[in-house]
Amino acid sequence: MVSGLIKLSLTDLPLKAIDIQESVLTRFHDLLAKGRLAHAYLFVGPAGIGKMSTALAVAKMIQCETPDRAAGQFFCGVCPGCVKIASASHPDVMVTDQGEEASIKIEQIRGLLSRARLRSFYGRRKVFIVRNAEVMTTEASNAFLKNLEEPSSDTLIILTTGAPEANLDTIRSRCQMVYFHPIGVDELAARLKRDGWEEKEAHFLAYYAEGCPGQAKQMREAGIFQKKKEWLDDFLFSECGDDWIKDLTNDKGATRDFLAVLRSWVRDGLLLKTGTAAERLMHRDLGEALTRFAARYSFRELEDFDQEIIKGLRLLQDGFNVRVQLNIIRMLIKRD
């Protein structure tokens, strides 16, 4: 391993298709077939949208030895080329990111570029992927630029970023931009279900993650679907005491997640009042409780409720303890 190149563990690598944006793969497949693939691309889109998964899928498409094109496959996933990419050991596919550090350093980029000068191991195009390119230091960006100015025909560079404006103009101008958009929430829910997720959880997380597959996966790993039921039950439908609030606010991440869940609940209540079909509500799994909750408030009261939650999220963001704000929110709760 060249120092500075990260070795992704198997679990980091997207083996499931839910992350991959197929329209981008189709586009790259066509460009490859026509010999019109550019030297460098910048994949732009929010975190969890599938930029990295799609970049790795492009690498597999280039390196795959036995894709079944007749079956509509871009790559097989089981040949030595595909398997090596999945285990981060393919000599012609290199991935770098900041790892545990705050930035991508010049040494990492030098390591990457020294590999770019070597002949391709398998005679195919070499693929270099830089994840979250916006965190490259200025020196690292400048070192990288040099390579972009002297493109080599057997190299494909893919940079991913959630903040395109944070990248140097000179980097942006030398890359072709590929924009990633969230997929429809219902489409994502269907994909998650096909992937074996339980129906109610798939629906909630597809909506809660606003169509971002990677975020839905992370939230599932964090157990948000189970937690949200407990939180709502404790806070809205039981007499939650001061200790409950104290315990929650000791964990900033959990407090943020709780406020976000509470906000999504109140917003569902607002949607219900505007006549949105129960089918399209985020908390469809708790439909009855939601209907009862919404019935106790006027539209205006729910809007005020929402505003107090937003205030809590802002205070948290600014580093304040939100215990007092949670008490204010608690006082807004009306019971049957």
Beta-sheet pairing, 155-161 with 176-179: unpaired
Cβ-contact 112, 133 below 8 angstroms: no
> Is 83 an interacting residue with respect to Zn ion (CB under 5 A)?
no
Number of H helices, E strands in the chain: 15, 5
What token pair was written down for 78? 């089981």
Q: Which of 76, 113, 254, 332 binds Zn ion (CB under 5 A)?
A: 76
- Quick count: other Cβ atoms within 10 Å of Cβ 125? 18
Contact stretch for Zn ion (CB under 5 A) within 17-25, 61-69, 99-107, 326-334: 61-69
Q: Which CB, 79 or 289, lies closer to Zn ion?
A: 79
Instruction: Tell whether residue 56 is a contact of Zn ion (CB under 5 A).
Output: no
- The first and second tokens of residue 160, run together, are 């991913």
The interface mask with Zn ion, positions 277-316, x = CB under 5 A, is ----------------------------------------
Q: Are 326 and 312 in contact (CB under 8 A)?
A: yes
Beta partners for residue 157, in sequence order: 40, 128
Shortest gap between Cβ of 95 and Zn ion (angstroms)?
Answer: 18
Task: Locate all alpha helices (DSSP H) within 34-168, ordered by sequence.
Answer: 51-63, 80-86, 106-116, 138-149
The Cβ-side half-sphere exposure at 128, using a 13 Å CA radius, reads: 26
**List 20, 37, 57, 64, residue binding Zn ion (CB under 5 A):** 64
Q: Pick the stretch among 79-87, 139-147, 301-309, 313-321 that binds Zn ion (CB under 5 A).
A: 79-87
Q: Which is nearer to Zn ion, 24 or 64 (CB)?
A: 64
Write down the least CB distance from residue 107 to Zn ion, Å: 32
| Chain mean position to CA 252 | 21
What is the total count of residues that contact Zn ion (CB under 5 A)? Answer: 5
Taking the least distance from each CB to Zn ion, the nearer of 73 and 250 is 73
CB closer to Zn ion out of 82 and 206: 82
Sheet of 40-44, strand order: 93-96, 126-130, 155-161, 40-44, 176-179
Residue 236, interface with Zn ion (CB under 5 A)? no
CA-based nearest residue to 161, from 20, 44, 24, 41: 44
The H-or-E segment that residue 200 falls in is: helix 199-208
- Say whether residue 57 binds Zn ion (CB under 5 A): no
Residues in 204-223 that interact with Zn ion by CB under 5 A: none
Q: How far is the CB of 93 from Zn ion (least distance, A)?
A: 12
Hey, is 94 helix, strand or coil?
strand
Shortest distance, CB of residue 65 to Zn ion, whole angstroms? Answer: 6
Distance in Å, CB of 308 to Zn ion, minimum: 53
Instruction: Find out whether 103 and 140 touch, Cβ atoms under 8 Å.
Output: yes
The distance of closest approach from Cβ of residue 63 to Zn ion in the complex, given in angstroms and rounded to an integer, is 7
Give least dist CB 16 to Zn ion, A.
Answer: 16
Of residues 111 through 140, those in contact with Zn ion by CB under 5 A are none
Q: How far is the CB of 100 from Zn ion (least distance, A)?
A: 31
Binding site for Zn ion (CB under 5 A): 64, 75-76, 79, 82
